[in-house]
Amino acid sequence: MWLGGAVVRALDLRLEIAGSIPAAALSSATLDKLFTHIVLTVLAACTAEVRQWYLQNGLQLNMDKSEALVIGTANQLRTANSAITSVCVADVQLPMADEIKVLGVVLDRRLAFNKHVMAVTRSCNFHAQDIRHIRHLLSTDLAQILACSLILTRLDYYNSVLYGAPVSSIQKLQRVQNNTARIVLQAPRRSHAKTLMRQLHWLPVQHRIEYKVSVLTYKTPNTSVPQYLSQRINRHVNARTLRSSATPLLIQPFARTGFAKRSFRRAAPSVWNSLPASVIGSDSMSVFKSRLKHCYFLGTLASTHNRLPQAPLKL
């Protein structure tokens, strides 16, 4: 309640200031700078009260290791660069950084994830070379287990944030997976990776990302957890009864920029609505995952016989 009151008071301050501004009398650039100043004022007020709450409850914020990062489109960043030099958080001026690391993911100002992909690629290649050196001592099953535990887990870690990332970044990760498949199956360096991954029952990187988004989208409306995501998606309701009315599709909001299309609110309906009705209408999470894996596998890696794989799929 105390923290909620602080946020409400700060937001009321923002609305009061914004409502008293004659917008027609100011240029667009001036308005952007003014609202940027208002947002920073709100942030400083909220975090100052949060710091007080921490101190009253025997907790301490480590501001010496804190940094601030502005994320946005190219136009937004140009405006921010001239308007923001530092950010006041909990009564401490934080310097602006070009990138920050959060839970092992390197965030940059455009969310291109170039540095993050480079770090993941470097780590995966290191472990791939280790497996290559001892591959002649391992069985195929044991080599596959090592590859899944040491390399594929790193490719899958927080990979949902890479949805909509530049194609060049996805291709770098895909090359890592292709190289891993060749090492596991002891195939020549120039062998076709698609055939090898079909044999290993591995999904390619792009579909691993879409798989993670699809699973999260399935969980959100059915469990309402996390709540902040369940409020971002809404079911599509037809004005009249159609054959597609039985399929639980989602409303896909309009997004003007490619940056906005990467948000969960836009990405989740886009991925969800592209799935077959048999997958969307699954009764349980286990059934949904099984059908989703087969759907992606048949769509990208299966042979022309169009039949389900005999062996269980491994992500």
Is residue 307 very low, low, confident or very high in pLDDT (cuts 50, 70, 90)?
very low
- Condensed to tens digits (0 to 9), the pLDDT of residues 214-268 reads 999 998 877 766 778 888 888 877 766 666 566 788 888 888 888 888 888 898 9
- Does 301 have pLDDT greater than 70? no
Q: What confidence score (pLDDT) does residue 251 get? A: 85
Token readout for 270 is 């886009």
Q: Is residue 77 within a helix (H) or strand (E), and if so which, with residue range? A: helix 74-83
Question: Tell me, what DSSP letter sits at residue 93?
Answer: E
Q: What confidence score (pLDDT) does residue 172 get? A: 95
Q: What confidence score (pLDDT) does residue 31 get? A: 52
Question: In sequence order, what are the beta bridge partners of 101?
Answer: 106
What phi and psi values does residue 105 have, to the nearest 5 degrees?
A: -105, 125
Instruction: Please name the amino acid found at residue 162.
Output: L
Q: Is 124 exposed, middle or buried (0-12, 13-18, 19+ CB in 10 A)?
A: buried
Q: In the block, which residue shows the tokens 């190289």?
A: 179
Token readout for 56 is 């009253």
* Cα separation, 213 vs 165, whole angstroms: 14
Per-domain boundaries in the chain: 2-97, 113-198, 207-300
**Among candidate residues 179, 166, 149, 233, the one with its CA nearest the CA of residue 206:** 166
- Condensed to tens digits (0 to 9), the pLDDT of residues 66-124 reads 788 888 888 778 777 766 777 887 778 887 888 888 888 999 888 889 999 999 999 99
**Residue of higher predicted confidence among 44 and 6:** 44
Q: Is 271 exposed, middle or buried (0-12, 13-18, 19+ CB in 10 A)?
A: buried
Q: What confidence score (pLDDT) does residue 243 get? A: 63
Q: What confidence score (pLDDT) does residue 246 get? A: 62
Is residue 11 very low, low, confident or very high in pLDDT (cuts 50, 70, 90)?
very low
Q: What confidence score (pLDDT) does residue 97 get? A: 82
Token readout for 172 is 């770098």
**Residue of higher predicted confidence among 162 and 18:** 162
Is residue 313 very low, low, confident or very high in pLDDT (cuts 50, 70, 90)?
very low
What does the pLDDT average to over 269-282? 89
**Residue of higher predicted confidence among 54 and 208:** 208
What does the pLDDT average to over 160-181? 93
Q: What confidence score (pLDDT) does residue 132 get? A: 95
Q: Is 207 exposed, middle or buried (0-12, 13-18, 19+ CB in 10 A)?
A: buried
Could you give the dihedral angle defined by the CA atoms of residues 31, 36, 39 and 40, in that order, rounded to the nearest 10 degrees? -140
Question: In sequence order, what are the beta bridge partners of 100?
Answer: 107
**Residue of higher predicted confidence among 75 and 144:** 144
Q: Which of 147-161, 201-215, 235-249, 296-310 has the lowest mean pLDDT?
A: 296-310
Q: What confidence score (pLDDT) does residue 74 get? A: 81
- Condensed to tens digits (0 to 9), the pLDDT of residues 12-58 reads 544 444 444 444 444 455 656 666 777 778 878 888 888 888 888 88
Tally of CB atoms within 10 A around 279: 21
Q: Do 269 and 248 contact (CB within 8 A), yes or no? A: no
Q: pTM (2 decimals)?
A: 0.77
Is residue 185 very low, low, confident or very high in pLDDT (cuts 50, 70, 90)?
very high
Is residue 174 very low, low, confident or very high in pLDDT (cuts 50, 70, 90)?
very high
Q: Do 45 and 6 contact (CB within 8 A), yes or no? A: yes
